[in-house]
Chains A and B, each alone.
Chain A
Amino acid sequence: MSNIPATLVQLADLLNGNAGLVRRGRFVELEFMLQIGDEAHYLNIDHGKLTAITPAPLLMRPWRFAIRIQADAWLQFCQAMPRPGYHDLFAMCKLGVASVEGDIHPLMANLRYFQEILALARLELGEAAHGS
Chain B
Amino acid sequence: MAAELEPVTGRYMQLDIQGRRNRIYFEQAGQGIPLLCLHTAGADGSQFRHLLNDPEITRNYRVIAFDMPWHGKSLPPVGYHLEEYRLTSDLYVDTVMAVCQGLELARPVVMGCSMGGRIVLQLALAHGTDLRAVIGLESADHQEPWYDTDWLHRPDVHGGEIAAALVSGLVAPQSPDEYRWETLWGYLQSGPGVFKGDLYFYRADSDYRDRVGEIDTTQCPVYLLTGEYDFSCTPEDTLRTAARIEGAQAIIMEGLGHFPMSEDPQQFRGYIMPILDQIRG
Given A81-B173, A112-B168, A115-B168, is A94 in contact with B146 using a C-beta cutoff of 8 Å? yes
Given A81-B173, A81-B174, A94-B146, is A88 in contact with B162 using a C-beta cutoff of 8 Å? no
* Chain B residues close to A by CB (< 8 Å): 146-147, 151, 156-158, 161-162, 164-166, 168-170, 172-174, 228-229, 231
Chain A hits for B174, CB < 8 A: 81
How distant is B51 from chain A, measured CB to nearest CB, in Å?
25
Contact: A87 with B173, CB < 8 Å?
A: yes
Contact: A90 with B161, CB < 8 Å?
A: no
Contact: B161 with A111, CB < 8 Å?
A: yes
A88–B162 Cα gap in the complex (Å)? 15
Chain A hits for B168, CB < 8 A: 88, 112, 115
Chain B hits for A91, CB < 8 A: 169, 231
How distant is B13 from chain A, measured CB to nearest CB, in Å?
36
> A89 in the interface, Cβ–Cβ < 8 Å?
yes
Contact: A90 with B162, CB < 8 Å?
A: no
Contact: B229 with A112, CB < 8 Å?
A: no
Which residue of B146, B158, B169, B174 has the most chain A CB atoms within 10 A of its CB atom? B169
For residues 93 through 132 of chain A, which have their beta carbon under 8 Å from a beta carbon of chain B?
94-95, 105, 108-109, 111-112, 115
Contact: A90 with B229, CB < 8 Å?
A: no
Contact: B231 with A108, CB < 8 Å?
A: no
Closest A residue to B232 using CB positions: A94
For residues 40 through 98 of chain A, which have their beta carbon under 8 Å from a beta carbon of chain B?
81-82, 84-85, 87-91, 94-95
Given A87-B173, A90-B169, A91-B169, is A109 in contact with B156 using a C-beta cutoff of 8 Å? yes
Given A108-B151, A109-B157, is A88 in contact with B164 using a C-beta cutoff of 8 Å? no
Determine the main DSSP class of B at the interface with A: loop
Contact: A88 with B231, CB < 8 Å?
A: yes
Closest A residue to B158 using CB positions: A109
Chain B hits for A112, CB < 8 A: 161, 164-165, 168
A105–B156 Cα gap in the complex (Å)? 9
A54–B164 Cα gap in the complex (Å)? 31
Contact: A90 with B147, CB < 8 Å?
A: yes
- Residue from the list A81, A87, A111 in contact with B162, Cβ < 8 A: A111
How distant is A76 from chain B, measured CB to nearest CB, in Å?
12
How distant is B230 from chain A, measured CB to nearest CB, in Å?
8
How distant is A9 from chain B, measured CB to nearest CB, in Å?
26
Chain B hits for A84, CB < 8 A: 228-229, 231
A88–B173 Cα gap in the complex (Å)? 9
A84–B233 Cα gap in the complex (Å)? 12
Task: List 26 A-B pairs, Cβ < 8 Å.
Answer: A81-B174, A82-B173, A84-B229, A84-B231, A85-B231, A87-B229, A88-B168, A88-B231, A89-B169, A90-B147, A90-B166, A90-B169, A91-B169, A91-B231, A105-B156, A108-B151, A109-B158, A109-B162, A111-B161, A111-B162, A111-B165, A111-B166, A112-B161, A112-B164, A112-B165, A115-B169
Q: A81-B173, A111-B161, A115-B169 are in contact. List 6 more A-B contacts (CB 8 A).
A: A90-B166, A94-B146, A94-B231, A108-B162, A109-B158, A111-B162
Chain A hits for B161, CB < 8 A: 111-112
Which 5 pairs between the two chains have the least Cβ-Cβ distance? A88-B169, A111-B165, A91-B231, A112-B165, A109-B157
Closest A residue to B169 using CB positions: A88
A87–B256 Cα gap in the complex (Å)? 12
A15–B156 Cα gap in the complex (Å)? 25
How distant is B108 from chain A, measured CB to nearest CB, in Å?
32
Chain A hits for B151, CB < 8 A: 108
A85–B161 Cα gap in the complex (Å)? 22
Chain A hits for B165, CB < 8 A: 111-112, 115
How distant is B105 from chain A, measured CB to nearest CB, in Å?
36
A67–B172 Cα gap in the complex (Å)? 22
